[in-house]
Structure 1
Amino acid sequence: MNCSNAKDILLDDINNLEVIHSKSKGYITLASKKEQKFTQWHYKINELENKYHELIDNKVNVYISHNTFYKPQRRIENIKELNAIFIDIDCYNTNYTKEAVRFFIEKDLNGIIPNPTMLIDSGRGLYYVLKLESVPSKALPLWYAIQRYIYNQLKEFGADAKALDPTRVLRATGTINSKTQTEVKIIDYDGYTYTLKEIQENYLPELKEKKQKSKGRPKKVISLFNEYSLYHARLNDLIKICELRSYDMEGCREVTLFLYRYFTCCFMEDEVQALECTLELNKQFVKPLMEYEVVKHTKSAETAYNGKKYKFKNSTLIDLLGITEEEQKYLKSIIGKNEKYIRNNLRRQENRRNEHGLTNREQEKQDRIYKILELKNKGLNQSEIARNIGISRQAVSKILKSL
Structure 2
Amino acid sequence: MSYIETLHKNSKGWITKAQIKNSEYTQWHYKYKNLLELNFADENIYISMNTFFKPSRRIECIKELKANFIDLDIYNTKFTKEQIIMNLEENYFNRSIPRPNIIVDSGRGLYLIWLINSVPGQALPLWKAVEEYLYKELKEFGADRKALDAARILRVPESINSKSNSKVKVIDHYEYTYDLREIQNNFLPELKPKEKKKGRPKKVIFVHRERSLYYARIQDLIKLCELRKYDLKGHRELILFLYRYYLCVFTEDAEKALNDTLELNNEFIYPLKEKEAITATKSAETCYFSKDKQYKYKNETLIELLEITEDEQRVMTTIISKSEYKRRDRIYQKNKYNEKLKKDGKMSKKEELKLTREKIKNLRLEGFKNKEIMQMLGISSTTTFERHISYLKKNGFL
Q: In structure 2, what is the equivalent of residue 98 of structure 1?
A: 81
Number of residues of Structure 1 aligned to a counterpart in Structure 2: 351
Shift of 1:36: 2.4
Please tell me the residue identity of whatever aligns with 1:92. Answer: Y
Matches within 5 A, 1:150-161: 150-161=134-145
Please tell me the residue identity of whatever aligns with 1:398. Answer: L
1:112 matched to 2:96? yes
Q: In structure 1, what is the equivalent of residue 297 of structure 2?
A: 312
Retained in 2: the 8 A contact 1:352–1:359? no
Shift of 1:164: 0.4
Q: In structure 2, what is the equivalent of residue 198 of structure 1?
A: 182
Deviates more, 1:337-346 or 1:264-273: 337-346
Q: In structure 1, what is the equivalent of residue 370 of structure 2?
A: none
Shift of 1:99: 1.4
Write the deviation string for residues 67-101 of structure 1: whole angstroms up to 9, x where unpaired.
01111111111111100001111121111221122
Please tell me the residue identity of whatever aligns with 1:316. Answer: T
Matches within 5 A, 1:228-377: 228-308=211-291, 309=293, 310-354=295-339, 362=347
Retained in 1: the 8 A contact 2:48–2:154? yes
Cα distance in 2 for residues equivalent to 1:99 and 1:237:
46
Shift of 1:311: 1.7
Matches within 5 A, 1:63-212: 63-110=46-93, 111-204=95-188, 206=190
1:36 matched to 2:23? yes
Structure 1 unaligned runs (5+)? Answer: 1-12, 210-215, 368-393
Retained in 2: the 8 A contact 1:201–1:208? no
Shift of 1:364: 10
Shift of 1:249: 0.1
Please tell me the residue identity of whatever aligns with 2:136. Answer: N
Please tell me the residue identity of whatever aligns with 2:239. Answer: T
Write the deviation string for residues 143-180 of structure 1: whole angstroms up to 9, x where unpaired.
11111111110111111111101000001111111111
Deviating above 3 A after TM superposition, structure 1's stretches of 4 or more consecutive aligned residues are: 355-361, 363-367, 394-397, 399-402
Q: In structure 1, what is the equivalent of residue 357 of structure 2?
A: none
**CA 1:153–1:338 in structure 2 vs 1: closer, same or farther (change >3 Å)?**
same
Write the deviation string for residues 286-316 of structure 1: whole angstroms up to 9, x where unpaired.
1111111111111111011112422221122
Cα distance in 1 for residues equivalent to 2:351 and 2:258:
58
Shift of 1:14: 3.5
Q: In structure 2, what is the equivalent of residue 389 of structure 1?
A: none
SS at match of 2:29: strand
Shift of 1:208: 11
What TM-score results when the alignment is normalised by the length of structure 2? 0.82
Cα distance in 2 for residues equivalent to 1:268 and 1:168:
11
Shift of 1:366: 8.7
Cα distance in 1 for residues equivalent to 2:90 and 2:167:
26
Retained in 1: the 8 A contact 2:341–2:347? no
Q: In structure 1, what is the equivalent of residue 366 of structure 2?
A: none
Retained in 1: the 8 A contact 2:191–2:207? no
Shift of 1:116: 0.1
Structure 2 unaligned runs (5+)? Answer: 194-201, 353-372, 380-384, 389-398
**CA 1:362–1:207 in structure 2 vs 1: closer, same or farther (change >3 Å)?**
farther
Q: In structure 2, what is the equivalent of residue 398 of structure 1?
A: 377
Shift of 1:399: 6.2
**CA 1:185–1:399 in structure 2 vs 1: closer, same or farther (change >3 Å)?**
farther
